[in-house]
């Protein structure tokens, strides 16, 4: 005889689980048990590049999609959408994150900076200017995330955030070439201008590459 758990047989548990899984795969509008109810939505407010925004979003919306699809800030790119490429890197409260791995509703009250907020064509951010000078630009997908990462990397070094390439983890990290390369390793496609990007970052940091 099948084991009984809390008065419910194992078979009944398995059948209930299978039915739940099947129901959850229906779109919300056609959900046989959900009537006309739409997907769950929540209000969220945050600043992007100094401007406050109040949105009501499907709770499954990533920060990346909120930026691109709702605020039309398309400088932040969707490469892999899986946290692998770094194309979606933005700076949140002074720290870089992959916007594709973060739900927008988690960012209530946050301060988000995208590549559009770093500089303008007339007034480039020093990192953007250094990328131009050192020929660090790659394709339009990779470069915005690389620039946001590069800006954030120098802030991490100034704050003393350690990395895997430090021989002495207790010493303050230095903006050396190997540190730049290690810390930029989350932005995977930088093969074309790998050394140029490190040189641009070193210039902004005031060090030699």
Of 188, 154, 164, 182, the residue nearest 86 (C-alpha): 188
Asked whether position 144 contacts ligand FES by CB under 6 A, the answer is no
- Which residues lie closer than 8 Å to 101 by C-beta, 6 or more apart? 62, 83
Asked whether position 75 contacts ligand FES by CB under 6 A, the answer is no
Asked whether position 79 contacts ligand FES by CB under 6 A, the answer is yes
How far from 160 is each of 63, 167, 173, CA to CA, in Å? 27, 14, 6
Q: How far is the CB of 82 from ligand FES (least distance, A)?
A: 6
- What's the token pair of residue 184? 């930029």
DSSP string for 148-181: HHHHHHHHHHHHT---TT-S-TTSPP---HHHHH
Candidate list 61, 138, 176, 196; residue touching ligand FES; CB under 6 A: 138
Query: Of 44 and 142, which has the nearer Cβ to ligand FES?
Result: 142
| # residues contacting ligand FES (CB under 6 A) | 18
DSSP state of 187: S
- Which residues lie closer than 8 Å to 83 by C-beta, 6 or more apart? 98, 100, 101
Question: Token match 């660090």: residue?
Answer: 136
- Separation CA 10–CA 16 (nearest Å): 10
Query: Of 149 and 176, which has the nearer Cβ to ligand FES?
Result: 149
Q: How far is the CB of 36 from ligand FES (least distance, A)?
A: 33
Q: How far is the CB of 117 from ligand FES (least distance, A)?
A: 18
DSSP state of 103: B
Query: Of 86 and 175, which has the nearer Cβ to ligand FES?
Result: 86
Interface with ligand FES in residues 31-50 (CB under 6 A): none
Q: Are 53 and 46 in contact, with CB atoms under 8 Å apart? A: yes
Choose one: 12-20, 117-125, 136-144, 173-181; the region binding ligand FES (CB under 6 A).
136-144
Asked whether position 187 contacts ligand FES by CB under 6 A, the answer is no
Q: How far is the CB of 96 from ligand FES (least distance, A)?
A: 11
- What's the token pair of residue 56? 């009501």
- Separation CA 202–CA 209 (nearest Å): 5
Q: Which x/- pattern over 80-119 shows residues binding ligand FES (rule: CB under 6 A)?
A: xx-xxxxxx---------x-x-------------------
Query: Of 175 and 200, which has the nearer Cβ to ligand FES?
Result: 200
Interacting residue ranges for ligand FES, rule: CB under 6 A = 78-81, 83-88, 98, 100, 138-139, 141-142, 189, 192
């Amino acid at each position: 005889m099948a084991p009984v758990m809390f008065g419910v047989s194992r078979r009944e548990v398995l059948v209930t689980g299978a039915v739940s899984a099947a129901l959850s795969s229906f779109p919300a509008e056609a959900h046989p048990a959900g009537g006309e109810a739409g997907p769950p939505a929540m209000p969220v407010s945050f600043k992007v590049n100094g401007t406050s925004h109040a949105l009501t979003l499907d709770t499954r919306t990533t920060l990346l999609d909120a930026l691109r699809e709702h605020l039309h800030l398309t400088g932040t790119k969707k490469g892999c959408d899986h946290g692998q490429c770094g194309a979606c890197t933005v700076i949140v409260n002074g720290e870089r994150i992959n916007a594709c791995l973060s739900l927008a509703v988690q960012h209530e009250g946050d301060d988000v900076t995208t590549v559009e907020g770093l500089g303008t064509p007339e007034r480039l951010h020093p990192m953007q200017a250094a990328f131009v000078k050192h020929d660090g630009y790659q394709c339009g997908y990779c470069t915005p995330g690389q620039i946001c990462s590069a800006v954030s990397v120098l802030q991490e070094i100034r704050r003393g955030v350690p990395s895997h390439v430090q021989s002495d983890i207790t010493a303050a990290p230095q903006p050396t070439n190997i540190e730049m390369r290690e810390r930029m390793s989350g932005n995977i496609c930088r093969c074309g201008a790998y050394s140029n990007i490190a040189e641009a970052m070193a210039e902004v940091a005031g060090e030699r590459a």
